[in-house]
Structure 1
Amino acid sequence: MDVDFVCAFADRPPGRLTRRDVARALLAVPSGVALVALPDLRRALLAAGNPLSRAFWDSAKATLGSIEAGVATVGDVQRWLESTGTEPILMTPGYFVWPEEDERGPVAAEMHRRLVAHLEERVAAGAIDPDALAGGDPEARAAYEELQERWLATALPDGRTPEQAVNDEQDEELFAAWDEEEAFALAELRRILGDLPRRPEPPAAELDAAGARLRELLAEPGYPANVLRACAGLDDRPMPRDDRELWLTVAAGVAGPIADLPESGDELVEFADLERRLSEEDLTLANLCAIQHADWLAAVTALARLGPGVLASPERIARLIAESEDIESEEQDEEELEATEGFFASVVPLWACLGIVDAGGVLTPLGWWGLPEALERAWTPAE
Structure 2
Amino acid sequence: MDLDFVCAHAGRPAADLTRRDVVRALLAVPSGVALVALPDLRRSLLAAGNPLSAPFWESAKATLGAIESGSATVGDVQRWLESTGTEPLLLTRSFFVWPEEDERGPAAGEMYRRLVAHLEERVAEGEIDPDALARGEAAAREAYEDLQEHWLNSPLPDGRVPVVEVGDEQDAELFAAWDEEEAFALGELRRILADLPEPVRPAAELRAAGTRLREVLAAPGYPGNVLRACAGYEGEPLPDDDEELWLTVTAGIAGPAADLSEDDDDEEPAAGEDGLGHEDGVLASLCAIHHADWLAVVAALARRGPGVLASPERIARLIAESDDIDVDMDDPEDLEAAEMLFGSVTPLWASLGIVDRNEILTPLGHWGLPRALERAWSPSA
Does residue 297 (structure 1) correspond to residue 308 (structure 2)? The answer is no
- SS of the aligned residue for 2:330 comes to coil
Does residue 163 (structure 1) correspond to residue 181 (structure 2)? The answer is no
Kept after mapping to 1: 8 A contact 2:216/2:224 = yes
Residue of structure 2 in register with 1:208 after alignment: 207
Residue of structure 2 in register with 1:51 after alignment: 51
Cα distance in 1 between the residues matched to 2:177 and 2:342: 24
**Displacement after TM superposition at 1:238 (Å):** 3.0
Q: Within 5 Å, which residues of 2 pair with 1:24-173? A: 24-173=24-173
TM-score normalized by structure 1? 0.96
- SS of the aligned residue for 2:64 comes to helix
Cα distance in 2 between the residues matched to 1:369 and 1:269: 33
Letter in 2 for 1:166: V
* CA deviation map 1:282-340 (0-9, x unaligned): 11111111111111000001000000111111111111111111111124222111111
Cα distance in 2 between the residues matched to 1:296 and 1:7: 52
**Displacement after TM superposition at 1:230 (Å):** 0.2
**Displacement after TM superposition at 1:268 (Å):** 12
* CA deviation map 1:101-126 (0-9, x unaligned): 11111111110000000000000000
Distance change >3 Å, CA 202–CA 103, structure 1 → 2:
same
**Displacement after TM superposition at 1:347 (Å):** 0.4
Q: Within 5 Å, which residues of 2 pair with 1:301-380? A: 301-380=299-378
- SS of the aligned residue for 2:262 comes to coil
**Displacement after TM superposition at 1:266 (Å):** 7.3
Structure 2: gaps of 5 or more residues: none
Distance change >3 Å, CA 219–CA 185, structure 1 → 2:
same
**Displacement after TM superposition at 1:12 (Å):** 0.3
Kept after mapping to 1: 8 A contact 2:107/2:165 = yes
Cα distance in 2 between the residues matched to 1:274 and 1:322: 29
Cα distance in 2 between the residues matched to 1:228 and 1:46: 70
Distance change >3 Å, CA 158–CA 59, structure 1 → 2:
same
* CA deviation map 1:17-59 (0-9, x unaligned): 0000000000000000001111111111111111000110110
Letter in 1 for 2:95: Y
Structure 1: gaps of 5 or more residues: none
Residue of structure 2 in register with 1:238 after alignment: 237
* CA deviation map 1:170-227 (0-9, x unaligned): 1111111111000000000000000111111112x33222111111110000000000
**Displacement after TM superposition at 1:276 (Å):** 6.8
* CA deviation map 1:222-269 (0-9, x unaligned): 000000000000015432121110000000001111111113697599
Residue of structure 1 in register with 2:224 after alignment: 225
Cα distance in 2 between the residues matched to 1:269 and 1:329: 35
Q: Within 5 Å, which residues of 2 pair with 1:279-294? A: 279-294=277-292
Kept after mapping to 1: 8 A contact 2:300/2:322 = yes
Kept after mapping to 1: 8 A contact 2:221/2:268 = no
Cα distance in 1 between the residues matched to 2:372 and 2:272: 35
Quick one: percent identity of the two aligned structures? 72
Kept after mapping to 2: 8 A contact 1:270/1:276 = no
Cα distance in 2 between the residues matched to 1:275 and 1:94: 23
Deviates more, 1:370-379 or 1:275-284: 275-284
Distance change >3 Å, CA 245–CA 94, structure 1 → 2:
same
Kept after mapping to 2: 8 A contact 1:202/1:369 = yes
Residue of structure 1 in register with 2:23 after alignment: 23
Residue of structure 1 in register with 2:179 after alignment: 179
Cα distance in 2 between the residues matched to 1:201 and 1:330: 35
Letter in 2 for 1:43: R
Cα distance in 1 between the residues matched to 2:190 and 2:146: 53
Kept after mapping to 1: 8 A contact 2:248/2:372 = yes
TM-score normalized by structure 2? 0.97
Cα distance in 1 between the residues matched to 2:134 and 2:97: 22
Residue of structure 2 in register with 1:263 after alignment: 262
Letter in 1 for 2:224: A
Among 258, 276, 279, which residue is 1:278 paired with? 276
Distance change >3 Å, CA 176–CA 33, structure 1 → 2:
same
Letter in 2 for 1:102: D
Kept after mapping to 1: 8 A contact 2:354/2:362 = yes
Letter in 2 for 1:45: L
Cα distance in 1 between the residues matched to 2:221 and 2:287: 20
Letter in 1 for 2:293: D
Distance change >3 Å, CA 269–CA 245, structure 1 → 2:
closer
Kept after mapping to 1: 8 A contact 2:268/2:279 = no
Cα distance in 2 between the residues matched to 1:229 and 1:269: 15
Number of matched pairs: 381
Cα distance in 1 between the residues matched to 2:173 and 2:359: 38
Distance change >3 Å, CA 179–CA 236, structure 1 → 2:
farther
Letter in 2 for 1:221: P
